[in-house]
Amino acid sequence: MVNVFLDDLRPCPKGFKLVKTVSECIQVIEKNNINILSLDHDLGFGRPSGFEVVKYIVNNKIFPREIIIHTANPFGRIRMFRLLNSNMPKNVKVVIRPEPLYL
């Protein structure tokens, strides 16, 4: 099982695979069993957001064991949580853990 960290700016925590784009994240999800999926919302101006990954896992019913929403964007955080909360299986754990930006 793989732990995945989706973020374009923050350093990747130990034990996680860093992905910086929605398409890269979806490719990893499609090819691996995901243990923990940690999501940022804002991935660069004009680029798809972490919300697209949430829609993908909900629409395809491919849920990791745990999802961490680490975005600092309060609107994006709530948006991702609401979609997950209304669609995920009861055994999936969702944690909201905003991380500061390190620029």
Per residue in 31-79, pLDDT (tens digit) is 999 999 999 999 999 999 999 999 999 999 999 999 999 999 999 999 9
Whether the model clears a pTM of 0.75, i.e. scores above it, the answer is yes
Residue 55 phi, psi (nearest 5): -60, -40
Q: Kind and range of the H or E element at 69?
A: strand 66-69
CA distance 63 to 37: 9
pLDDT at 80: 98
Count of CB atoms situated within 10 Å of the CB of 90: 5
Percent of the chain with pLDDT over 70: 98
What six digits make up the tokens of 34?
């995901």
